[in-house]
Chain A
Amino acid sequence: MLDKAKPTTAPIVERCQALFSDLTFEAQRAWKEAKPGRKVVGFLPYYAPRELVHAAGCLPIGILGGGDQLEVIHGDAYYQSYICRIPRSTVELGVSGRLDFVDGMLFPSICDVIRNLSGMWKLMFPQKATRYVDLPQNFTMDIGVPFYAQELREVREFLEQIVGKPITDDEIRNSITLFNENRRLVREVYKLRAEMPWNLPSSEVYLLMRAGLLTPVEEHNAMLAEYMSLAQQMERPLKDNSRVVISGAFCEQPPLNLIKSIELAGCYIVDDDFLVVNRWEKSEVATSGDPLENLARAYISDSTSIAPKYEPNPKIKGKYLIDSVRENGAEGVIFAMPSFCDPALLDRPMLQSALKEANIPYIGFKYAENTGQMQPVREQAGTFADSIKLWSGQ
């Protein structure tokens, strides 16, 4: 029984867990039904301009596959064995009717599999509005910004067709303000976790972040603030764990048990690249002037580095990971990457050589969203944690 006198994050975590586990999306359906005319727009990893979806009056929800609780029956019939798991469970969600309440889908240009899934969606669900979002790969300001601003104009038109009304610049500015606040709070949670990882276990933080992709931003902002306030007051035992950064899990998500296993094996996760959309822009997006231009500018000049993005400057390839290790006081990196994930797996050798040069230890393993056997993960992560404790600084 909970001791009511002691502050606890448990009720928030329970709510987040319920959102996370619900593969029929009851809460999102309820949101939609609460007011006539409400629409829901899904998006795939790693990023979508959620501000535009929100400004249209729609609920943006992250479609992150089916995890380890979804039995994939139909989805496997659409993919060969050598293709990752997230598209097949996403197809499963679609063909099983679990996404029938979703009015539009956005597929960002993360890799060829998700890119092609956008076309599959058009063929399989012709009655649903579907759009591929072509994210810029040329990061020269006066080339990339106009390209992405144009792409955003087209996304805006796409959303206007879904809701049947124009989206004003002021509505977008208002949404940018709300998402700026959301990103600020998310960054604060991450900072706090790095400061006191024993009080903010990653298995909880992860659920809190997943909830942000399933609830209205206003609600999530309140949730983040409350969670931080309570987590700071908790008195969980400090363990002699190693501090690690997780890299490579930006698309297909690891099972929650995998995160728990890493922690149980003696690691504090002090930074990660799960669900990067919620802190994509590293500082505030400007709210005055042309809002689409502002979003485009932020994407080009001030967004997170991950494998699906081209790194124009070879001198800083992998620097973001080294910075993350140093800024968060980490002692090593765990490359946890989905099997058959082209962006993560092709990038890994380059990141490894950057870490090697910086004398930062690392290990790596692959997973699928439905990986059930955690013993190998626990053994590898545990050995890594021990080796850090034994050998670091020598």
Chain B
Amino acid sequence: MKQFVAFVKKEFRHIFRDQRTLIILFGMPIVQLILFGFALNNEIKDAGIAIFDQSKDVMSIRLKGKMLSSGYFKEVEELYSYKQIEKAFKTGEVKLALVIGSDFGKQLERKEAARIQLIGDASDPNTAQTLTNYAELIIRDFEQEIHSNGIEVQRGASAIPRMMYNPEQKAVFMFVPGVMALILMLVSAMMTSITIAREKEQGTMDILMISPLKPVQIILGKVTPYLLLSLINGTVIVLMGLFVFGMPVRGSFLLLFMEMLLFIITALGLGILISSKANSQMTAMFISMVGLMMPTILLSGFIFPIENMPLPLQVIAQVLPAKWFIIIIKSVMLKGSGLFNVWLPSLVLASMAAVFLVVSMRNIKPRING
């Protein structure tokens, strides 16, 4: 045990002496979260809207007012004909056009279907989709308002969507679990594989193997500091999510930590596996980058929905620990799920961790170079 403590102490010295490591460890999570949380925001505020109001009655002005006071839209242009719509789009400032048919108010009064048209600029399809969604929500809200004022609206069966768990559809709710998966993968898998590869590269692994330390102790000694630092990092991300971005933790913190620990162990297993194959730091870094970081960013469902991927990529996504981790974290944080709800993804993660650890431990053989 004393030997083990001496080893872990040495590991911490390596970490705290190397500024690059420190920056990656503590700077990265914060920068990433801020980047994803603020800069890559796909929420829309004050999008330019052009309005072609053919009625100009009380009701249409009321709808207009509701639209513009929502915070999502600001009126850039008032239109007087259909022809002007395309011209407005071409300026680039207008992202959505709202056309209110003539006799809007009268139609509502007569309980007829009032005609409203939304025209989006789909040269940027995501924005157009999001904007029309926002506008539709506002219009539906408007309908309900006047309905409660005693005016009945004629309509067939229509669904009223309600976005549960994230009613404002905040993107940051997706980014917090994603960044957490990414950072934990980075610290646990990549940094571990690099630090073990470094011992091999510098020849100090020979000395460790010849010392009374058992191979298992060496590996545990190497990963323990990264396990602790990963937990700290995970906690920082959860707290930042909570206090900076308002992402709630509706489930239990204990479960959240246990799941985090499980994911960290899985990532550490991967890191050890990589380092058992890589004999230099460069190789370890390259394998981690291409084999772990890229798929975690692109395929884990963190940025692009897995359901929209072609089948082969969907299959790959299934074997990414991050995919399962993100499912768990979102469920625990947003839906307040207990272990009972997330046992399946947890089991998948645990099995992955077991496989990685067993395979990597088998691969670590005491050996001297030469």
A joins B in a complex = no
Residues of B within 8 A of A (CB): none
Residues of A within 8 A of B (CB): none
